[in-house]
Amino acid sequence: MIRVDDLHMHFGGIRAVDGASIEIAKGSITGLIGPNGAGKTTLFNVIAGHYKPSSGTVWLGDEDITGLTPHELFHKGLLRTFQIAHEFSTLTVRENLMMVPDQQPGESLVDVWLRPSKCAREEEVRARADEVIEFLEISHVADEFAGNLSGGQKKLLELGRTMMVDAKIVFLDEVGAGVNRTLLNTLGDAIIRLNKERGYTFCMIEHDMDFIGRLCDPVIVMAEGKVLIEGSAEEVKADEQVIEAYLGRGLKNRPAKKSKGGSA
Ligand SMILES: Nc1ncnc2c1ncn2[C@@H]1O[C@H](COP(=O)(O)OP(=O)(O)OP(=O)(O)O)[C@@H](O)[C@H]1O
Ligand SMILES: [Mg+2]
C-alpha cells in the first residue's frame, strides 16, 4: 500500500533518514521501532507530507505521493497522529472530533432557514463523532474539555480523530507512550478492531515491545536513519543487530541526549 524508496531527509549535516526503504502491506499493522533519534518520526513526517525529502520516493499504491501536502494526503485517506497529542484544549472531546472532517459547517440560523442540507451535514458529523466516542468507550468524557483529559485519554482522542473520516492508512507515532495499562488495552483493542472491521492499515511507532508484539506484524527496525531488519516481533527481538542497536545507543546505556520532541 505504501512503498518508500531510498528516502533521505537531511537537516544540515544531520542525516535523520539516511537511505530508508520500507513497504507497508495493505491490511497490515506494521510496527516501526528503533532507538531514540533513529529517524522514525522524521520518516513519518516525510510520508505524511510535513517535510519534502532530500531525495527518494513515497508511493501510495501506484501513485507517487512524494511532496504532497498533509491536506492532499488527508483526502487520499492517509492520516497520522502526533508523538505529542495536539488536541484543542478548550473544545470538548465531541467538538474536537467534529473539527476533523473537511468543510465542517458552522451552525447559524441562516443555515437553518436557507440551507437545511448544511445542517443535515452537521447532524451527520455529530452522529459520527458520537459513534467514535462510543467505539472508544469515552462517553463519560464526551462533553469534557479536551485539555482536562488524562494523557491516555488524549491518545484515544488522537486515534478517534482518524475515525472521523474514511481513513485508509494511519500512521501512529507513539500513541501508546505514557498510557496506563488499562487504557493501553482499550487503545490496542480499538486499533485491532479498526484494522479487522474497517480495513484500516496501520503503521505504528512504539517503544513498548509487549504492545508491539501484541499488535504488529511485521516489525521494521530503524537505527541511524536506516532500516536494520524487518521480521516478526519475536524475530526482531532475538536479532543481534537489533540488540546491539538498542544496547549500544538505545534504551539502555543511552547517552544523556535529549531527543527532539521527547516522549509524549
Ligand atoms: N526538524 C529537525 N531539524 C533538525 N534535526 C532534526 C529535525 N527533526 C529531527 N531531527 C533530528 O533527526 C534525528 C532523528 O529524529 P527523529 O525525531 O526522527 O527520531 P525518532 O526515531 O523519532 O526518535 P524518538 O524515539 O526519540 O522519538 C535526531 O537526531 C533529531 O535530532
Ligand atoms: Mg519520534
pLDDT in tens, 212-247: 999 999 999 999 999 999 999 999 988 888 888 886
Letter for the amino acid at 50?
Answer: H
Alpha-carbon gap, residue 194 to 200, rounded angstroms: 6
Read off the C-alpha cell for 36.
Answer: 531514540
- State which ligand 1 atom lies nearest to the alpha carbon of 42: 18
Q: Is 249 in the pocket of ligand 1 (CB under 6 A)?
A: no
Task: Compute the Cα dihedral for 223, 233, 81, 179 and give only its sign.
Answer: negative
Alpha-carbon gap, residue 81 to 202, rounded angstroms: 11
Confidence at residue 257, expressed as pLDDT on a 0 to 100 scale: 43
Residues of the chain with CATH 3.40.50.300: 2-87+164-249
Which has the higher per-residue pLDDT, 133 or 123?
133
Q: Is 16 in the pocket of ligand 1 (CB under 6 A)?
A: yes
Name the CA radius of gyration of the chain, rounded: 19
Strand ranges in 40-142 using DSSP code E only, listed in sequence order: 55-60, 63-64, 78-80
- CB-CB contact of 166 with 77 (8 Å): yes
Confidence at residue 46, expressed as pLDDT on a 0 to 100 scale: 97
Strand ranges in 123-218 using DSSP code E only, listed in sequence order: 169-173, 201-205
Geometric angle at alpha carbon 21, from 70 and 159, rounded to 5°: 40
Q: What are the strands of the beta sheet with 2-11, ordered from one edge?
A: 14-24, 2-11, 55-60, 63-64
| 250: pLDDT strictly greater than 70 | no
- State which ligand 1 atom lies nearest to the alpha carbon of 12: 4
- What CATH superfamily classification does 2-87+164-249 receive? P-loop containing nucleotide triphosphate hydrolases (3.40.50.300)
CA of 9 to the centre of ligand 2 (A): 14
CA of 38 to the centre of ligand 2 (A): 8
- Atom 24 in ligand 1: residue holding the nearest Cα: 36
Q: Is 26 in the pocket of ligand 1 (CB under 6 A)?
A: no
| 41: pLDDT strictly greater than 90 | yes
Percent of the chain clearing pLDDT 70 (strictly above) = 87
Read off the C-alpha cell for 142.
Answer: 464526551
| 77: pLDDT strictly greater than 50 | yes
Which has the higher per-residue pLDDT, 9 or 87?
9
- Atom 16 in ligand 1: residue holding the nearest Cα: 39
Alpha-carbon distances of 61 from 75, 122, 153, 190, 245, rounded to whole Å: 15, 32, 33, 25, 32
Terminal-to-terminal C-alpha distance of the chain: 28
Alpha-carbon gap, residue 213 to 219, rounded angstroms: 9
**pLDDT band at residue 18 under the 50/70/90 scheme:** very high
- Atom 4 in ligand 1: residue holding the nearest Cα: 11
**pLDDT band at residue 108 under the 50/70/90 scheme:** low
The set of residues, in sequence order, having a beta carbon less than 8 Å from that of 73 and lying 6+ positions away, is 48, 49, 60, 65, 79
Which has the higher per-residue pLDDT, 67 or 247?
67
The set of residues, in sequence order, having a beta carbon less than 8 Å from that of 103 and lying 6+ positions away, is none
Q: For 48-61, how does the pLDDT look when each residue is reduced to its tens digit (9 = 90+)?
A: 999 999 999 999 99
